[in-house]
Structures are given as structure tokens and as C-alpha cells.
A and B are shown apart, each in its own frame.
Chain A
Amino acid sequence: MRIALFVTCLADTLFPAAAKATVRLLERLGHEVDFPAAQTCCGQMHINTGYRRDALPLVRRHVRTFAPYEVVVAPSGSCVGSVRHQHAVVARSAGDEGLAARAEVVAARTYELSELLVDVLGVDDVGAYYPHRVTYHPTCHSLRMLRVGDKPLRLLRNVRGLELLELPAAEQCCGFGGTFALKNADTSSAMLADKLRHVLDTGAEVCTAGDSSCLMHIGGGLSRLDASVRTVHLAEILAATEET
């Protein structure tokens, strides 16, 4: 299958390992990955911070860039959530019904990585090998905007060598929330402190999730504590094999 990679600006710029792993994984499963270079950012930060008008050209760019593809994947529940639940709203609020309709078509073909693997490609064992103790944080937008359910966990349970450790209070937000982490830094940090305590309580070596943004937040907190737990994107675990 030919699959377009919606890399997300965050993974492109700061976490390319997650994006490269997505490419490696899909190619290993026998699919062709395309990277349309006209893509930049889906506009979620602007939309969620109250700058819907500024986001409009970004929505237009995103829709134009991905309209030619039958299947689009992103290593981010949050960015897929924005494409699926916000792009048409932004277009409609600007009075652009045509864009809204095209945005809905693109949204329907856009999947978060675990959705693509389990629902579209029908695999829950990707043949990965990752001999580490891992705990999984189900990010809010994957969980509640996309309803990915236990798909990431099913994928992780089939990874050879991986010991999956249950994260207490897993469904509680890590406190990132985009610009929330800046505007309400104290509250965000208080939420993070509880998340970090739970991660450390598991005794895991690695904390994984389907969103680089939440991992950046959790990882930034772990690093400040000088904790030895690493944050690794779900795609990187699924892309790992005995050879890598």
C-alpha cells in the first residue's frame, strides 16, 4: 500500500527518530511510504490557543498537500485529532464550505500509527524485538479524541523481549496541553509531577507513547530529575528488530 507520511512539525524538527522509525516500520511491512514535502504544520497549536484565523492557511496547505493520497499516517494522536476534529471546523468558521468538505475527505483517510497498523493494515504483531521494561502512557488525544483504545497495547504485547509494566493512573493527562504548559506552567508542572511519580513507580526503563509532544513533556521532567528512565516513541519500539 502507498502511504503518505504526515510527519508533524514537532517530529520533523525535534524528534525525527520517531518519524524515521515510522518509515522503517511501514517499509518493513512491505508498504511504500511517500513524504509530500509541501507539508509543514497542521495548525493545532494556533487553533487550540485561539488563533483559528492564523491557522486557516495551514489547514488549507495541509488539505492541499494530502488530498492526492488514499491513506495518510502520522506518529501522533494529537495531530491526527486536530485533522479529524478541527480542520473542517476552522474552514467552516471562515465560511469556506469547499475547504471544509475537502478537509473532511482528508480527515477520513488520516490515521494515527496504531490505528493504521491494527485497523487498516490488520496487523497487531509487527515482528518487533525490544528487550526492555516498558510502560505506556495513553495520551489524552489518542485516548479520548481518537478512541484508539487498547490498540497500542496490543501492538506492544506482541513485541518480543518487551516487558510491559502497567502505569498507575495512566489515563490522567501528563499536563502538557500545548501552550497550556506555558500559560499555566505551575498547574502543568503539578500534573507532570504526579505523572513522573507514577512512571518511576513502575520500575520501567522506558516510557512510551504515541505522541512526541507528551513524551517531550514527560522526558523533559525526567531529565530534570536526572532519572534514568528514557522516553521512546511507540514507532521506535515497533520498528526495532533483532538486527537493529
Chain B
Amino acid sequence: MTFLGMPTTAPRGVGHLRGEEPFPAAARKALGNDQLRRNLGHATDTIRAKSGAVVAELPDWQELRAAGSALKADTMARLPELLLQLEENVTRAGGVVHWAADANEANRIVTELVRATGHDRVIKVKSMATQEIGLNEALEAAGIEPVETDLAELIVQLGHDRPSHILVPAIHRNRAEIREIFLREMPGVDPALTDEPVVLAGAARRYLRETFLRTKVAVSGANFAIAETGTLAVLESEGNGRMCLTLPETLITVMGVEKLVPAWQDLEVFLQLLPRASTGERMNPYTSMWTGVTPGDGPQSFHLVLLDNGRSAVLADEVGRPALHCIRCSACLNVCPVYERTGGHAYGSVYPGPIGAVLSPQLTGVEDNASLPYASSLCGACFDACPVKIDIPSILVHLRNEAPHPRTERALMGAAAYTMDHPRLYQAAQHAAKLGRLAGRRLPPPFNGWTASRDLPQPPPETFRDWWAKR
């Protein structure tokens, strides 16, 4: 739906793109949780080291990044025609393509498709798109039980929790907490369960195996869709995805429209970039690809739901557009000094960290996530880590210009700019700064944030320009 030609943003009241409070307030709570900070520090440290080592192995890593970036830029430049090509090829191969303008429409389409099968349970492959639109809640409201089959996603679901990392959604949980969640929520769990990782994984495996075998409908996301062949691809580590994509009778895939690549050969680049940047593996354990329906093999009914939900609005912004190049590897989260300390929940959206700070406000409209573009010190570590070279700091700065500004701040900034553009006033202000000597160790708002943990510098007896003038 468009108004005066401008694409609409993701609707309110559905899905998980908006937080309940601004980032600084949510971050303050997270920072008070020492256990969370230790879990996060340890986990991000480990992934960072692992990814850094396998990235360093490739002499052409920078060329691969450039290629990935160029392929995505080309895809975005001709997205409409490529999507039509995808639709044509999926349809020809026996699949059915649905177009969903937003979360509500996508949830309705999937719910109706499941209902039409007559089943009341679906197994799910880990998918950011379905988390974004709140599909699980929509299915539950319709009396359909969704079962997450990715181990970490299952922990989040059983814990009535929200994912806090794109790749490792339960990164904020330790094994003692996971044991408690399993004991409390997992049907048929052994009450003698210990918190040994192998024991916990075994419990999940037993529960999931049974579920795989008796569930006839699966819902997945997609890492890539190939326009020229109509092929969908899911990359994963646990094999649960392979189960979901091959065992059921019906497969429904919900995919953001930006997941497209033009040609089969383009996967050559992305299948090298994604695992190394993401899990720190040379190759991910499972890559499943399917094209429509194959008689006698795998799901005999395949539906592809193409989701917009604000993506056209991102596409319309020339500076913000590269946020759509993201391949959801989460490398930017793992190197971000802010994410490492606050965790993912503080961002309020299913897309946390640096990429979330540029993607969520664009999908919702920046007024609905106005604090996120500021949730960064602009240190630039995310840009360096991104396998498709998204210049996240520049997009953050761009969005800060679009964001609504507090009135006091606007007045102060206006006055500061005026002063800086009038050298005499500027000099007078410099001399007034010497009064800072009288200010003591605590400043009033909005500067009290500084003096909470830092002393002010002592203003010098003379400014540089006064010294220079006397030389």
C-alpha cells in the first residue's frame, strides 16, 4: 500500500521491531545484570576469535566482501524485476508465491495456509523474518502450535523469552538457566536432567525427533533465493532445518524481499562470506536448497511468502538502502562494544546490534525507534567486520539527521553552531568555559551523564589562540 507514492513502513501493534522503552533506559537495566554481561562478554569474545581466524585464512577476503557488496547493490537496483523472475520460476517448479505487504498480511497468509492443511501444529526452522512479524503469536492465536526446532530458538520459545542475538538467540542464557527452562517446559523431559551441554542437547534432540516425525507442516525463512532458478536456500548448523525442509508434507517459507540474489553463481560468493563471518566456520554443516516441488521427494506442497513490511521504504532511501544488503551473519553484533555490554534485548527489536540500529528504525519509520541510531559510539568496528561492507556508521549518522530531536538539545545545538560561526562569540564562550573551574565535579542535566563516572578537565589558564596571539 502506498500513499502519494511513498512506501509504507512496518505497521504498529504487530511483530517485534519496536521496544517498550528507549535504548538508554533499556540499556541501563541490562548493564546492571552482571551475569548477562559475563555471558555476553565470553560468548562474543569466543565467536570473534573464531571468525577472525577463519577470515584471516582467505587471501581474497576483501575481494569477496567487495563482490558481495556489489552483488547486493545490483540486486537492490533491479529488485522488482528480479522478484517477478523469482515468482515465475518458483511457480513453474510447482510452488505458490504470495505477496505480503506487511506483517499482518504475512501472518494471515501463513495462518490460512496452515488451516487449509487441516493440521494444528507446525515445525519451524530458525527465521528472523517470522520473528520480525510475530508469526508464532499469530499462529497461537489461531489455535496452531508452532514448535521452534533450532536449539537456541527452542530455548527462547520454551522460556517465553525473546531472542537477543541474530545467530545465537539464547546468548543471554547459561546452561543452568537452560536446564531449568527444559525441566519446567519441555514435554516428556527426564526429571534427572543435568546441565551438561551434551545432556541438554540430548533432551532437545529426543523431544524434537518425535515432533519432526509427527508434524506435517513446516515454516521456514530463507537465507537466499535465486531469481534465475527459483531456488531457495537455508544455511544451518544443527540439521533441524534439513528435517523441517524435507519431512513434512507442506512447506511454507517466509522471506524478506531483500534475500534475493540474481543468479545461481552468486552463491559462490555468499556461501564463502556467510559461515566465516557468522559462526566462524569455513563451511556451514548444512546447506539445503530446493526448487518448487519434486514429485515423490520432500514436501509436495510449497508456498513462498514474499514479505515487504517496510523494506520498500528502506529501498527508497538512497543512503539507508545498503541496510537491506545484510545477510544476517551477526558479525557486527559480535564486534560491537555497545552490544557486548547491553545485549540484544535493550534494542527492543528482533534485529539488535549495529545492523538493528540501522534496520529497525528504517523498517518502522525513525520516529518509532528514535533512540536506536544513537545507540553507537560510531567506533566503526561493525563496518570493518561486515562481510558485505555495509557502512553502518554513515547510515547511523544519516538516520540521526532524520530522527526527531529533543527541544532543549535542538536549542543548545543551534546556539552552539551560531557561536562557532562567529569567532568573537566563540572566543567569549571559550573564556566563559574557564568558569568550569567553579563547576565542581557534578554537572546539571543533560551533562550529568558525564560527571556520573568522569571528572571534567580543568580549563587551562589560556586558550591556544590567546597563546598564539601573544607569540
How many Å lie between the Cα of A224 and that of B453 in the bound state?
Answer: 7
Q: Which of B28, B416, B423, B446 has the most CB atoms of chain A within a 10 A radius of its CB?
A: B416
Q: A20-B464, A58-B420, A186-B31 are in contact. Are A221 and B453 (CB under 8 A)?
A: yes
Within A218-244, the residues touching B (CB, 8 Å) are 219-221, 223-224
Within B386-431, the residues touching A (CB, 8 Å) are 394, 397, 399-403, 405, 409-410, 413-414, 416-417, 420-421, 423, 426, 430
B interface SS class: helix
**CB < 8 Å: which of A16, A37, A48 contacts B460?**
A16
**CB < 8 Å: which of A19, A20, A180, A224 contacts B377?**
A180
The reply to whether B377 and A140 form a contact with Cβ atoms under 8 Å apart is yes
Which residue of chain B has its CB nearest to the CB of A52?
Answer: B401
Within A199-224, the residues touching B (CB, 8 Å) are 216-217, 219-221, 223-224
The reply to whether A145 and B31 form a contact with Cβ atoms under 8 Å apart is no
Kindly supply a per-residue 1/0 record for chain B positions 169-194, scoring 1 wherever the CB is within 8 Å of any chain A CB and 0 otherwise.
00000000000000000000000000
Closest Cβ–Cβ distance, residue B317 to chain A (whole Å) = 13
The reply to whether B446 and A38 form a contact with Cβ atoms under 8 Å apart is no
The reply to whether B379 and A182 form a contact with Cβ atoms under 8 Å apart is no
Q: A140-B380, A144-B381, A184-B375 are in contact. Are A220 and B341 (CB under 8 A)?
A: no
Within B86-114, the residues touching A (CB, 8 Å) are none
How many Å lie between the Cα of A184 and that of B381 in the bound state?
Answer: 18
The reply to whether A61 and B421 form a contact with Cβ atoms under 8 Å apart is yes
The reply to whether B31 and A57 form a contact with Cβ atoms under 8 Å apart is no
Q: A13-B430, A58-B421 are in contact. Are A182 and B464 (CB under 8 A)?
A: no
How many Å lie between the Cα of A176 and that of B433 in the bound state?
Answer: 20
Closest Cβ–Cβ distance, residue B370 to chain A (whole Å) = 10
The reply to whether B341 and A191 form a contact with Cβ atoms under 8 Å apart is yes
Q: A14-B460, A191-B337 are in contact. Are A141 and B417 (CB under 8 A)?
A: no
Q: Is A29 an interface residue (CB 8 A)?
A: no
Chain B interfacial residues counted at CB < 8 A: 61
Interface pick from A39-47, A103-111, A115-123, A155-163: A39-47
The reply to whether A50 and B453 form a contact with Cβ atoms under 8 Å apart is no
How many Å lie between the Cα of A45 and that of B410 in the bound state?
Answer: 13
How many Å lie between the Cα of A189 and that of B463 in the bound state?
Answer: 28
Closest Cβ–Cβ distance, residue B343 to chain A (whole Å) = 11
The reply to whether A37 and B383 form a contact with Cβ atoms under 8 Å apart is no
Closest Cβ–Cβ distance, residue A173 to chain B (whole Å) = 4
How many Å lie between the Cα of A37 and that of B424 in the bound state?
Answer: 11
| Residues of A close to B464: CB separation below 8 A | 7, 11-13, 16, 19-20
Closest Cβ–Cβ distance, residue B105 to chain A (whole Å) = 33
Q: A58-B421, A141-B380 are in contact. Are A49 and B400 (CB under 8 A)?
A: yes
Q: Is B285 an interface residue (CB 8 A)?
A: no
The reply to whether A48 and B400 form a contact with Cβ atoms under 8 Å apart is yes
The reply to whether B383 and A17 form a contact with Cβ atoms under 8 Å apart is no
| Residues of A close to B463: CB separation below 8 A | 12-13, 16
The reply to whether A14 and B459 form a contact with Cβ atoms under 8 Å apart is yes
Q: A50-B405, A58-B417, A144-B379 are in contact. Are A192 and B454 (CB under 8 A)?
A: yes
How many Å lie between the Cα of A220 and that of B456 in the bound state?
Answer: 6
Which residue of chain A has its CB nearest to the CB of B446?
Answer: A182
Q: Is B3 an interface residue (CB 8 A)?
A: no
How many Å lie between the Cα of A49 and that of B383 in the bound state?
Answer: 19
Closest Cβ–Cβ distance, residue B382 to chain A (whole Å) = 10
Which residue of chain A has its CB nearest to the CB of B382?
Answer: A144
Q: Is B290 an interface residue (CB 8 A)?
A: no
The reply to whether B449 and A183 form a contact with Cβ atoms under 8 Å apart is yes
Which residue of chain B has its CB nearest to the CB of A13?
Answer: B430
Closest Cβ–Cβ distance, residue B314 to chain A (whole Å) = 18
| Residues of A close to B394: CB separation below 8 A | 85, 89
Kindly supply a per-residue 1/0 record for chain B positions 282-326, scoring 1 wherever the CB is within 8 Å of any chain A CB and 0 otherwise.
000000000000000000000000000000000000000000000
Closest Cβ–Cβ distance, residue B38 to chain A (whole Å) = 13
| Residues of A close to B378: CB separation below 8 A | 48, 140, 177-178, 180
Q: Is A1 an interface residue (CB 8 A)?
A: no
The reply to whether B420 and A43 form a contact with Cβ atoms under 8 Å apart is yes
**CB < 8 Å: which of A13, A143, A181, A193 contacts B433?**
A13
| Residues of B close to A164: CB separation below 8 A | none
The reply to whether B423 and A38 form a contact with Cβ atoms under 8 Å apart is yes
CB-based closest 6 A-B pairs: A185-B449, A177-B377, A50-B400, A220-B454, A144-B380, A173-B379
Q: List 12 A-B contacts (CB under 8 A).
A: A14-B459, A14-B460, A40-B420, A45-B416, A47-B397, A144-B383, A173-B337, A175-B337, A183-B374, A217-B454, A220-B457, A223-B454
Given contacts A14-B457, A16-B462, A20-B467, 18 further A-B contacts (CB under 8 A): A16-B460, A23-B468, A38-B423, A40-B423, A50-B397, A50-B402, A52-B401, A54-B417, A55-B417, A93-B401, A180-B378, A181-B454, A182-B447, A184-B27, A188-B377, A191-B341, A217-B454, A221-B455
